[in-house]
Amino acid sequence: MPNRPYDLPPLSSLISFEAAARHVSFKTAAEELNVTPAAISHQVKALENELQCGLFVRHHRGVELTESGAYLLVSLQRSLEGISEALGQLRRQYDKKGVTIRSTTAVSSLWLTPRLAQFWKQHGHVSVTQVVTDLGVDSSKCDLSIHYGDSSRETGIFKTLFHDNIMALCSPRFAEQNPIERVDEIAGLPLIHLDAPDTGWTDWRAWTQKLGYDGPLNSAHRVNNYTIALQAAQDDMGAVLGWEGLTSELVASGKLVKLLPQTISSQLDFYVKLHNTSSDRAKLVFKWLGEAI
């Protein structure tokens, strides 16, 4: 193989191969790249000759990848995704003063917004835009994003914000009207359930099981938004599960109180992830949030 920078074959052959392998079709790849199928075949053949291995098995009706071809396709796609992400970050630099950060409604209202207010007192020259959504959209389109999950599986650049304890909370009036001391006594009380199955949030069943109770539970109130669940609890509608890091200000203000002294430790973490590593302002917000506990 000729000596080239990075020891790569011509990029035209790699691009042609990637398109042909992704579509498993020389004809479709040719249409995508606006060339002839013969040109795709020529590029792929040149690549096979240079690598000295077959990348496709050619049949009368089409082609299929060999094991070597499948291996090369995965490697190319990973590399191209990295290049695409880097280019995307550079394109987003048109707004050098702004930093975008994605979070859920609950994290934004209960944790992020109060801390950004403090951030702006120290760094008023940095504009931060919140992208608030409870849908699983592509967070890589933001400079930063806040997640609730298993941070040990995270492969990007991140900082753990807090590892939370989960407790049963309610309004002071509700606690006064429903004095209980044991976890099993919660069975007779109205509970506010959060219907968010894809978020990893602990539900009442998991919470009580962790504390040794596996009996029936009241499921009178169900909502799909944690902020609404907390408001319902403040309105005396029932007890709600409270993540200590998110609800500390509500507890400190007396709007919510502990219904029971027992708590469990969450199996997941709240953490912030840095996507735009080319932005000094994004790095500043990332560092500040990691120290703002």
Q: Which of 236, 160, 223, 170 is nearest to 195 (CA)?
A: 223
Determine which of 40-49, 250-259, 277-286 has the lowest per-residue pLDDT on average: 277-286
Token couple for 212: 């040794």
Mean pLDDT of 244-258: 92
Supply the pLDDT for residue 40: 93
Class of domain 99-161+271-291: alpha beta
Which of 132-136, 179-183, 196-200 shows the highest mean pLDDT? 179-183
Domain-by-domain residue ranges, the chain?
11-95, 99-161+271-291, 162-267
Let me know if the fold of 99-161+271-291 is the same as that of 162-267: yes
CATH number of 162-267: 3.40.190.10
For domain 11-95, the CATH architecture is: Orthogonal Bundle (1.10)
Contact (CB, 8 A) for 73 and 47: no
Distance CA(141)–CA(88), nearest Å, equals 8
Token couple for 187: 């069975």
